[in-house]
């Protein structure tokens, strides 16, 4: 297993980690198989989406705050209930197909780390078999 470190700089952020995931898969030495990308945090997640136009990630972040506003009278006392809900919308893990030692992604696709309670230093685990 390889661990990627991700440093976020804002409360809600989408960080393209495709290159780091590809490096971790390469370091695992797998040519063909599957890779699991896992985020061990309850206020962050991972997703695959378009990386050609930065407005896509910007739109996702903007609409997340409309769907799950930061302050909406949540019962959770820590002040980050919205981040827990947002991370559940993304999910904590992805499974990627690996072919030729690289993750199989579409032309415009990227792997994004989705921060909901930043800024923070986070971990992402990648295991390939």
- Domain boundaries, given as residue ranges, for the chain: 2-128
Q: What is the pLDDT of residue 66?
A: 94
Q: What is the pLDDT of residue 97?
A: 98
Residue 55 is encoded by which pair of tokens? 């407005």
Q: Are 94 and 48 in contact (CB under 8 A)?
A: yes
Can you tell me the distance from the alpha carbon of 6 to that of 115, in angstroms, rounded to the nearest whole number?
A: 10
Q: What is the pLDDT of residue 72?
A: 84
- State if pTM tops 0.85: yes
DSSP state, residue 53: -
Which has the closest alpha carbon to 61: 112, 120, 6?
A: 112
CATH class assigned to 2-128: mainly beta
Q: What is the pLDDT of residue 8?
A: 98
| Phi, psi at 24, each rounded to 5° | -65, -40
Show pLDDT as tens, one digit a residue, over the chain (129 residues).
999 999 999 999 999 999 999 999 999 999 999 999 999 999 999 999 999 999 999 999 999 999 999 888 899 989 899 999 999 999 999 999 999 999 999 999 999 999 999 999 999 999 999
- Counting Cα atoms < 13 Å in the Cβ hemisphere of 29 gives 1
Q: What is the pLDDT of residue 71?
A: 85
């Amino acid at each position: 297993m390889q661990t990627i470190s991700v440093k976020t700089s804002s409360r809600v952020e989408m960080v393209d980690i495709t290159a780091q995931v590809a490096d971790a898969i390469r370091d695992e030495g797998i040519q063909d198989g599957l890779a699991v990308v896992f985020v061990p945090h309850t206020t962050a997640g991972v997703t695959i989406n378009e990386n050609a136009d930065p407005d896509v990630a910007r739109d996702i972040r903007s609409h997340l705050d409309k769907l799950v506003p930061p302050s909406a009278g949540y019962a959770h006392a820590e002040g980050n209930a919205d981040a827990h809900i947002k991370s559940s919308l993304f999910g904590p893990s992805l499974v990627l197909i690996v072919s030729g030692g690289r993750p199989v992604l579409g032309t415009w696709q990227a792997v994004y780390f989705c921060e909901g309670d930043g800024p923070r230093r986070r971990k992402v685990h990648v295991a390939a078999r």
